[in-house]
Chain A
């Protein structure tokens, strides 16, 4: 894991500087990379670096700003500021932006450990439940109890469907069939 040279965040940009014929690699996080690329005296002509800074701005703007999670409403920029996601749906939602970050802080991007015994609730159902719970809360706040009750039934229906899918104790060895 490479950390940013200027702060403690994970580095996402790796710049090779050539100074007097010597190459040196500088690791920077997004924020520091932007500052780094913008650093040049006013009288010098625009460099590749300064062009990159504005490109980076455009890219970050173009890729991240419009997108926000349909379930919890968090944007990728908000996540970057706080370092915390709002719901499990954010992972598939921002996967493309997230993968380089995960590569930096972990030893790969494929989970290699334990898996839940039971059927995992599909990400679609997980997202649906979060949305329904939010809508239910809003309905209660607006004293629309009819809608709230309908939403509650929908939540229960999804929860029950999930439970029915769950196989029981899949890891345990099956008992041998009784002799006939």
Chain B
């Protein structure tokens, strides 16, 4: 039976106050790896792809997928969010939390997202493809992501036949995703490599083996706060496991590289590094107005400062959370009303001062 239209009972204000599990700052290699993600692109057989499907067909797809997911993903309760009736601000907030893409947030017509409690799983409905199934973990945990994503894919496929071609695999709206439909990505924090201008070599090394290096919010976004997403581009001709192994190998090398450069910086340029972290801390705990971009930049220094033992009483989870909570939509939701840019900068500065108050420089 097809359930009724989603009603967004998922409370956005409540969501804004918390943070997803992937921001906990734990998991393997969490000093450098923020999160790991696996997503699968799927389309429902017998329906035109999203751009050519009528509003009626897209509505049916939302119902079919919702019905397949029901109320639980791997023993976690599921919230179904109807994007069509969601405000632009709430849509942006889900985007800032990495639960939906910019394309889904800003699209039109029947579209939705199913989110499991803890925000580990999300299924976007009617993005570029009918389904984008995603699993997000804190730290370097691609195998766990794949295991859960594979199982969630099976769960949905029990009820929904997917468009599949014996030679070409899962069929997607864009042929860059055809085959496995998989995108494996790891978000890494590389302040030392950026500081020493070695980041260019990371780009080159990744490109050589067809991996993409992107900013925090994926395609076309800037590498704000020294966050980079490393992901596969090839989806056809290699198995999911092969593609995951390739990304794992490259990311492992990058982790080692960043650590070596950090250690060298601490050994050879401790005073400069300490000064940079202290200045970042100073601005973040005393500014009266601060932009989102400057915040990201300074929080990046702070994050590295924690790792290198230059700051006391501040944990990774808090800094990770601040990266998200100081983004425009989160800030406005936490504040309880829409804010113009200048007001936002004031509110952001207040928020940062309040949150960082109890910390001190090491």
Within 8 Å by CB of B48, from A87, A108, A171, lies A87
The answer to whether B261 has its CB under 8 Å from any CB of chain A is no
Q: Which of A34-42, A45-53, A54-62, A115-123 contacts B (4 or more CB under 8 A)?
A: A115-123
Task: Give complex CA distance A129, B57 in Å.
Answer: 11
The answer to whether A113 and B179 touch (CB under 8 A), given A84-B49, A121-B45, is: yes
B48 touches A71 (CB 8 A): yes
Within 8 Å by CB of B46, from A106, A112, A114, A130, lies A130
A129 touches B47 (CB 8 A): yes
The answer to whether A31 has its CB under 8 Å from any CB of chain B is no
Within 8 Å by CB of A110, from B163, B167, B240, lies B167
Within 8 A of B (CB), among A89-139: 91-92, 98, 101-102, 105-118, 120-121, 123, 125-126, 129-130, 133-134, 137
Query: Count the A residues whose beta carbon is within 8 Å of the partner chain — how many?
Result: 47
Task: Give complex CA distance A34, B164 in Å.
Answer: 34
B168 touches A109 (CB 8 A): yes
B238 touches A121 (CB 8 A): no
The chain A residue with its CB closest to the CB of B163 is A88
The answer to whether B150 has its CB under 8 Å from any CB of chain A is yes
The chain B residue with its CB closest to the CB of A120 is B164
**0 or 1 for each of B235-268: is its CB under 8 Å from A? (1 = yes):** 1111110100000000000000000000000000
Within 8 A of A (CB), among B162-202: 162-171, 173-176, 178-180, 182
Task: Give complex CA distance A101, B238 in Å.
Answer: 17
Cβ of B109 to closest chain A Cβ, rounded Å? 14
Q: List, in ascending order, chain B residues with CB within 8 A of A169's CB.
A: 158
The answer to whether B143 has its CB under 8 Å from any CB of chain A is no
10 A-B pairs with the lowest CB-CB distances in the bound complex, closest first: A108-B237, A111-B169, A129-B46, A107-B237, A88-B163, A86-B52, A106-B236, A113-B180, A88-B171, A87-B48
B residues whose Cβ falls under 8 Å from a Cβ of A: 43, 45-49, 51-52, 54, 56-57, 128, 150, 153-154, 157-158, 161-171, 173-176, 178-180, 182, 210, 233-240, 242
A residues whose Cβ falls under 8 Å from a Cβ of B: 1, 71-74, 82-88, 91-92, 98, 101-102, 105-118, 120-121, 123, 125-126, 129-130, 133-134, 137, 158-159, 162, 166, 169, 171
